[in-house]
Amino acid sequence: MDPIYFFVIAVLIATGGISFISRKALYDVAQNPDNLQSIQTKLFIGVAVVEVIPIVLIVFGFINLDQSTIDPVTPLILVAIITFINGGHVFKTYLSLTGDADKQAKEKLRMLFMVCLPLLMAFPIIAGVATMTTTGS
C-alpha cells in the first residue's frame, strides 16, 4: 500500500469518529442547553480518544512518504469526498436542531458547531499538506 493512503485512512477514521461525536454533542446540547460545559468536556475527551489511531497512521505516512510512487490526485479527491460527507452530516444535524430551538439553545448550538468544525477539519488539512509535499507543489 502506498504511504499516501495512510493519510486517507486516517482522515476516514478521524472525520467519521469526530462527526459521530459532534452530532451526539449537538443533540445533547439541544436537549439540555444549560449543560454545555460538561457536553464540551465529553466532546473533547471523545475526540482525543478517536484521534489516537489516525495520529499513528499520520506518523507512519510521514515516515514512509518518500517511498510514495502514485499520483496524489486520487487520494486528495478521496480526502475531499470523505470530509465533505462527514462535515455535511454535522452541518445537517446543526441545521435540523436549530430550526425548532429557542434563542438560548440556538446560540449554544452555534457555539458548539463552531468548535466542532475545526476539530473535523484538522486531519483533512494535514492529509492535504502531506499529499502535496509528495509532488513538490
| Entry pTM | 0.91
The number of C-alpha atoms within 13 Å of 85 and in the hemisphere containing its C-beta is: 13
Contact 132, 7 (CB under 8 A): no
- pLDDT for residue 96: 93
Residue 52: how many CB atoms within 10 A of its CB?
Answer: 11
Residue 137 has pLDDT above 80, yes or no: no
- Residues of the domain holding 109: 4-135
Q: How many domains does the chain have?
A: 1
Q: How confident is the model over 42-58, as pLDDT tens digits?
A: 999 999 999 999 999 99
Mean of the pLDDT values across residues 112-122?
A: 95
Alpha carbon of residue 85 to chain centroid:
10
Query: pLDDT tier at 136 (50, 70, 90 boundaries)?
Result: low
Residue 134 has pLDDT above 60, yes or no: yes
Residue 111: how many CB atoms within 10 A of its CB?
Answer: 13
Q: How confident is the model over 51-110, as pLDDT tens digits?
A: 999 999 999 999 998 888 888 899 999 999 999 999 999 999 999 999 888 888 899 999
